[in-house]
Amino acid sequence: MPSPAVVIGVDSSTQSTKAAFIDAGTGEQLAVGRAPHVVTGEGGARESDPETWWRALGDAVAAGLKESGLPARAVTGIAVAGQQHGLVVLDGAGRPLRPALLWNDTRSAPQAAALAEEFGGPSAWAERTGSVPVASITASKWRWLSETDPAAAAAAAAVRLPHDFLTERLAGVAATDPGDASGSGWYSTAGGAYDPELLDLLGLDAALLPEVAPTGAARIGSLTDAAARALGLPAGIAVAAGTGDNMSAAVGLGLGGDGLLDHPVLSLGTSGTVFAASRTRPTSTALNGFAAADGTYLPLACTLNCTLAVDKVAELLGLDREDAAPGGEAVLLPYLDGERTPDLPTAAGLLTGLRHDTTRQQLLGAAYEGAAVTVLRALDALLSACGLDPGAPEVAARPLRLIGGGAQGRMWVETVRRLSGRPLVLPDSGELVALGAAALAASAAGGGDPVALAAAWRAAGTDRRLPPVERDTETWERVTSVLDRASGPLLGGT
**85 belongs to an annotated ligand binding site:** yes
Annotate 88-119 with b (16+ C-beta within 10 A) or e (fewer): bbbeeeeebbbbbbbbbbbbbbebbbebbeeb
Catalytic residue selected from 245, 294, 380, 472: 245
Is residue 21 within 8 A of residue 5, CB to CB? The reply is no
**163 belongs to an annotated ligand binding site:** no
Burial (CB < 10 A; 0-12, 13-18, 19+), residue 410, is exposed
| Length of the chain measured in residues | 494
Give the dihedral sign, CA 321/401/381/163: positive
For the question of residue 245 being annotated catalytic, the response is yes
Give DSSP secondary structure letters for 346-390. Answer: T---EEE---TT--HHHHHHHHHHHHHHHHHHHHHHHHHHTT--T
Taking alpha carbons only, the member of 316, 322, 167 closest to residue 240 is 167
Distance CA 447, CA 460 (A): 21
Is residue 399 within 8 A of residue 261, CB to CB? The reply is no
Distance CA 22, CA 50 (A): 26
Query: Which residues contribute to the annotated binding site?
Result: 84-85
Query: Which residues contribute to the annotated binding site for substrate?
Result: 84-85
What residues act catalytically?
245
